[in-house]
Structure 1
Amino acid sequence: MAQIIREAVKTDCVQMMELIRELALFEKAPEEVSVELSHFEDSGFGDHPVWWALVAEDTNSGKLIGLALYYIRYSTWKGQRLYLEDLIVSEKYRGRGLGKQLFDALLIIAKKQGFRGMVWQALDWNEPALEFYKKYGARLDSEWVNCSLDF
């Protein structure tokens, strides 16, 4: 299998949403994905994008097999930081280094943009993900509690 890591384009959104649904199923929350395709597309490729993404594409089939979606977060203590919303590798393609390629590409983007770091979340039961991040020397924080409101 030949693959490339590249910046996402608007025509990738349908396949990106498929990967997002696959992640939600893996995380035991498939009903939580409620964003509509048109809103997703506009949020990434409209006049005022709020997210950017890298994709891993199987160059033989044109199928997207991985995704790293991120946005800029501002910390009053640290300044601008890259926030990794989702790092997804389709289950069939895991264990081939695609997650590392996507993550390494994000690190390059964050450093080129002059961000002061990178932050993300991982589920406490997702041991493979936690072990992956530990290899980078990531600090796993058990002190903060996630809070959210839905409208």
Structure 2
Amino acid sequence: MAITIRRALKEDCERLLELVKELALYEKAPQEVTVTLDHFIESGFGANPVWWAFVAEENGLVQGFALYYVRYSTWKGQRMYLEDILVTEQARGRGIGKLLFDQLIVEAKERNFNGIVWQVLEWNEPAINFYKKYNASFDPEWVNCSISV
């Protein structure tokens, strides 16, 4: 089956949110997905989008996605922040993640970002092994912090 990598469209948002929930379930935190579909759509396709995404489509069905936004580092400048990358469980092992990640690299270069940054859970060995294929650097020094407002 042919896989097509393309930019996400507004019409993809319902499926993307389904995949976000699938990822949250895999990461053992399904209760953490509280964004509404309307907010998700507005954030990606409203007057001032704050995220962009690529989808992997096969026979009209989105089987994976990679969603990013622009992060600014006072040390490095503009960088791509990869918020989520997911390939559905039934479509894994066929190179779809590589196609998505390679497209992110192309996008980062075209937008003159000086790098791509992301997080991975320490127990997610399949993802860690995937990123190692790209010679990713892993930084154990930093602690994630957040607050709810």
> If the TM-score is normalised by the length of the shorter chain, which range does it land in?
over 0.9
Tell me how far apart the structure 2 counterparts of residues 47 and 66 of structure 1 sit (CA, whole Å).
25
- Identity among equivalent positions (%) equals 63
Matching of residues 44-123 of structure 1 within 5 Å: 44-58=44-58, 60=59, 62-123=60-121
Where does residue 19 of structure 1 map in the other structure?
19
Deviation of 1:150 (Å) = 1.2
Q: 1:74-123 deviations in whole A, cap 9, x for unaligned?
A: 00000000000000000000000000000000000001111010100000
Q: Aligned residue for 2:39?
A: 39
Partner Cα distance (1:142, 1:135) in 2: 19
Counterpart residue number, 2:134: 136
With the length of structure 1 as denominator, give the TM-score of the two structures: 0.97
* CA distance in 2 between partners of 1:148 and 1:10 (Å): 29
Give ranges in structure 2 of 5+ residues lacking alignment. none
When the two chains are superposed, the root-mean-square deviation of aligned CA atoms in Å is: 0.5
Post-superposition Cα deviations, 1:121-147, rounded to whole Å, max 9, x if no partner, equal 000000010011011010001000000
Moved over 2 A (4+): none
1:77 alignment partner, SS class: coil
Mark the runs of 5 or more structure 1 residues left unpaired by the alignment. none
